[in-house]
Structure 1
Amino acid sequence: MNILMIEDNESVAEMMQMFFLNEGWEATFKYDGKEGLDAFLATPNEWDMITLDLNLPSMDGMMVAREIRKVSQSVPIIMLTARDSESDQVIGLEMGADDYVTKPFSPLTLIARIKALHRRSEIAETLTTDRQEETQAFDIETAHFKLNTKTREAYLNQKLIEGLTPKEFDLLYTLAKKPRQVFSREQLLQLVWDYQYFGDERTVDAHIKKLRQKIEKVGPQVIQTVWGVGYKFDDSGIA
């Protein structure tokens, strides 16, 4: 971790520097509120953790936290103070602190709180990233249609096409990834069912019929019949 410690007590800073080094963390120390804020603003994406004293020269910790939160909502902040009243703790948290440690404190306690807050921050960031990937990383995306092979979901005009069976989804994906290309029934049997099929080709027609019924519940039909040949996906005519 890269820690910014804004603390006017140099003895406390020197003590914590030894513990930070023991953890393999890098730390920058500022002894003035304005200097600490300037250090953050200079490289706001560089810091993994901020420890912030409440009583600081030139600008107190409440003001520093408020200004930091205008730039970053995600960087973790632990506020340190000799005050222990409930009102001070509430105000500190309202100003944007994620945790609150009162002085005098054990260095090991602060280290443990930093680790716990950092873990929570990493988990929250991972969950946010996963949700964004699931939402945004569509394998197929047009003005009207979206399909995600990871979540196995398809949308038409922003509406989920519900109840797709595995084969219906695979059939829709096969057609949609090559829009307006006509596929014969034999080709679809080979691509979707993964084998050459020389029997009744109506198995494709049956799946197409069910797939169309589910698509029509959310929007216009995008699977078209090309008479005498087969089927194609085409959403270009949707208004």
Structure 2
Amino acid sequence: MRRKIVAGNWKMNGSKDLSEKLVGYVRGEAGSLDNGVEVVIIPPALYVGDVLAQARGAVSVGVQNVGQWQSGAYTGEISPEMAKDAGCHYVLVGHSERRQLFGETDELVAEKVSLVIASGLTAIVCVGETLAERDSGEAESVVADQVRKGLVAVEQAEDAGKAWKRIVVAYEPVWAIGTGKTATAEDAQAMHASIRSVLKDMGAPAEEISLLYGGSVKADNAAALFSEPDIDGGLIGGASLVAEDFVSICRYVPAST
């Protein structure tokens, strides 16, 4: 049975006050979520400790990025082992903003994924096409290429079966992130089905891997998106900064059957 996950990516937003009030509220509501969803909050690294203090085990916590090294003279970087030591369970890898603004390549994503799973954390690996790529009919091939290249280390791992259990894939069409636009539920489902097919071709236990949708997910479109058979939850941006909206989105995840 695939995990149902709703993860809130705060991006470069947050404060001690937000960590206390928002996470406290989400923690209080988590007990009333009867659909089996795992709630994850991914704050800026500076606030991981504050979020963990409020989460108290009821909410999982992740980091937005890690370096491609485990230690050394890399000022400003954090490693997967550090994230694990701090109490995190998840790491975002390959978010479109990291790819576009910081030049991260599929090869770099693969390096980071390898370190993340070796540390015992779960990688939420982000993939997605630009508007130009979608308009030219290349969306599925672009995303398939990102999946294959970004997860090549998992495919080739000595214990691939164990490694695949530490992978979540988040499909985020670049043109829908922070724009107010979103893929239709049908378009999102088609891409998720394509991703699952690619994973199967790679030898992954594709039906067991959680696939999330991200890209202007809000309370008013979450139900339609999450009702699709290959969408197992969401990676939420702006709406995750509003406690009531975030919890509402979590409630729209259908219960596992």
TM over 0.5: no
Higher strand share: 1
TM-score normalised over the length of structure 1? 0.30
Larger Rg: 1
Identify the structure with bigger relative contact order (alpha carbons < 8 Å, sequence gap 6+).
2
TM-score normalised over the length of structure 2? 0.29
